[in-house]
């Protein structure tokens, strides 16, 4: 599902594989990201998101496949390709004993920025992440949200073409989280390609132009939010709250034709079906047949959680 010509692509990954012993952490992962596009890897913990990103950033050698950035193959010694990438690691990667400004300047120097660029970019980034007032303070005096912002700022300092953000909102209070999401939205409008990993469906829905749903090292579906939801078909989601033998009711419902899927989620039964309003009586009838009583019904449009459930049979969040 690659859009535009290959030249438009900032990042192209093809056939990435990585195993740790017996565990196939990443299995045939291929995707590409165009200029100005925000691409999401959405998957639960352990799906292989960080491992994939480590290969994209040249930190980990793929067992198979390759990564090209702006048409150049990315390896640990490919300086030009690496310069085009800004990495924001999942764990906050800053020196607590250095100030915000010192952290920025150190990593800026490693990126090869000259003195003038270093001065101007440091000030710009400090303003962007809202740390101008605290620039001289040691990072260990910062709140969790401030550290996260500094973590992102360092990745942006050298004006990369591709920014990789690995779960940047984990462990962040709602206010800082919102600030981070807003700044990511701004970055994409500036033409940056963004690779964003998360296990929060809402973040992927809000930020990403395209989303890859990742599970057990594989991309199980890829596309825009609309396209992904369409993989379920023109289906609605019906949630039944019942009083009685849930398992028997599920068996009975599975017997009905035209039902996309029937799963149990938190003691509720979740069914996917087309034309829900018309078929609701049949569902309730099936529940009644096994002697259970329906105590609540909810019909809504499916979201990415439902897509994930539908594709993998498991919940996105545990």
Partner 1 sequence: MSAALTILGKDLRLRLRDRSLLMFAVVVPLGLTVLFSLIFPDEEGFELTAAVVDADGGQVAGGFVDGVVPALVDDGVLTRVQVTDADEARVRVADGELDVAWIVPEGFSAAVAAGRPAELEVLVAAGRTLGGEVAVGIAEGFAAQVEQVALAVAVDAAVTGPASPERIEAIATGAETAPEAIAVAELVAGEEQRLDFTSYMAAGMASFFVFFVVGTGVLGRLEESQHNTLPRLLASPIPPAAVDLGKALGSLVVGIGSMTVLVAATMLLLGADWGPLTGVAVLVVGLVLAAMGVMALVGGFARTAEQAGNFQSIVAVVLGVLGGAFFPIPGEGVLVELATSISPHGWFLRGITDLVATGQVGAVLPAAGALLAIAVVVAVPAVWLQRRSWRW
Ligand X SMILES: Nc1ncnc2c1ncn2[C@@H]1O[C@H](COP(=O)(O)OP(=O)(O)O)[C@@H](O)[C@H]1O
Which residues, 6+ apart, have CB-to-CB distance to 297 below 8 Å?
A: 238, 239, 240, 241, 280, 284
Question: How crowded is residue 242: how many other Cβ atoms within 10 Å of its Cβ?
Answer: 21
Quote the least distance from Cβ 297 to partner 1, whole Å: 48
Q: Does 50 bind Mg ion (CB under 5 A)?
A: yes
Among 54, 176, 198, 294, binds partner 1 (CB under 8 A): 54
> How many chain residues touch Mg ion (CB under 5 A)?
3
DSSP annotation of 245 = -
- What residue number has its CB nearest to Mg ion? 50
Count the neighbouring beta carbons within 10 Å of the beta carbon of residue 73. 12
Residue written as tokens 């990435």? 16
Minimal CA–CA distance to 100: which of 144, 140, 156, 145?
Answer: 140
Q: Considering only 54-62, 244-252, 269-277, 308-316, which stretch makes contact with partner 1 by CB under 8 A?
A: 54-62
Q: Which is nearer to ligand X, 47 or 156 (CB)?
A: 47
Q: Is 75 in the site for partner 1 (CB under 8 A)?
A: yes
Stretch that binds partner 1, among 98-106, 118-126, 276-284, 297-305 (CB under 8 A): 98-106
Q: What is the DSSP string of 78-96?
A: -HHHHHTEEEE-SS----T
Question: 170 or 297, CB closer to Mg ion?
Answer: 170
Q: Please tell me whether residue 198 binds Mg ion under the rule CB under 5 A.
A: no
Give the one entry of partner 1, ligand X, Mg ion, none that residue 46 binds, where binding means its C-beta sits below a cut-off of 5 to 8 angstroms depending on kind. Answer: ligand X
Give the DSSP letter string of 156-184.
Answer: HTT--SEEEEESTTTT--HHHHHHHHHHH
By CB under 8 A, residue 197 contacts partner 1 = no
From 2, 15, 45, 61, residue interacting with partner 1 (rule: CB under 8 A): 61
Write out the residues near ligand X by the rule CB under 6 A.
Answer: 20, 23, 25, 43, 45-51
Cβ atoms 187, 41 nearer than 8 A = no
Note whether 144 binds partner 1 by CB under 8 A: no
Tell the smallest beta-carbon distance from residue 118 to partner 1 (Å). 11
Look at residues 147, 291, 307, 128 and name the one whose alpha carbon lies nearest to residue 215.
Answer: 307
**Cβ closest to ligand X, residue 88 vs residue 272:** 88
- Decide if 287 contacts 296 (C-beta within 8 A): no
Of the candidates 89, 84, 130, 126, which has an alpha carbon nearest to the alpha carbon of residue 104? 126
| Contacts with partner 1, residue ranges (CB under 8 A) | 54, 57-61, 75-77, 79-80, 82-83, 85, 87, 89, 91-98, 102, 106-107, 109-112, 154
């Amino acid at each position: 599902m690659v859009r535009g010509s290959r030249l438009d692509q900032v990042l192209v990954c093809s056939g990435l594989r990585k195993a740790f012993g017996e565990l196939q952490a990443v299995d045939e992962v291929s995707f590409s990201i165009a200029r100005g596009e925000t691409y999401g890897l959405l998957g639960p913990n352990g799906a292989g998101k960080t491992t994939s990103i480590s290969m994209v950033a040249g930190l980990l050698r793929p067992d198979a496949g390759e990564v090209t950035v702006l048409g150049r193959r990315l390896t640990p010694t490919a300086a030009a390709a690496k310069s085009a990438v800004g990495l924001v690691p999942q764990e906050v990667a800053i020196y607590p004993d250095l100030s915000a400004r010192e952290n920025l300047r150190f990593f800026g120097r490693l990126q090869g920025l000259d003195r003038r660029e270093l001065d101007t970019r440091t000030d710009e980034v400090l303003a962007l992440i809202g740390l101008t007032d605290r620039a001289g303070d040691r990072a260990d005096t910062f709140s969790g949200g401030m550290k996260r912002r500094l973590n992102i700022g360092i990745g942006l300092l050298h004006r990369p073409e591709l920014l990789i953000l690995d779960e940047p909102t984990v462990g962040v209070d709602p206010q800082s989280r919102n600030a981070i999401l807003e700044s990511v939205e701004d970055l994409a409008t500036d033409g940056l390609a963004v690779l964003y990993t998360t296990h929060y469906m809402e973040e992927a829905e809000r930020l990403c132009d395209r989303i890859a749903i990742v599970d057990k090292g594989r991309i199980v579906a890829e596309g825009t939010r609309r396209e992904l939801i369409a993989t379920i078909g023109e289906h609605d989601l019906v949630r039944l709250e019942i009083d009685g033998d849930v398992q028997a009711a599920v068996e009975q419902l599975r017997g009905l034709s035209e039902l996309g899927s029937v799963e149990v989620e938190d003691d509720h039964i979740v069914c996917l079906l087309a034309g829900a309003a018309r078929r609701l009586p049949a569902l309730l009838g099936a529940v009644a047949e096994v002697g259970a009583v329906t105590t609540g019904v909810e019909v809504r449009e499916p979201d990415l959680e439902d897509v994930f459930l539908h594709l993998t049979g498991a919940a996105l969040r545990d």
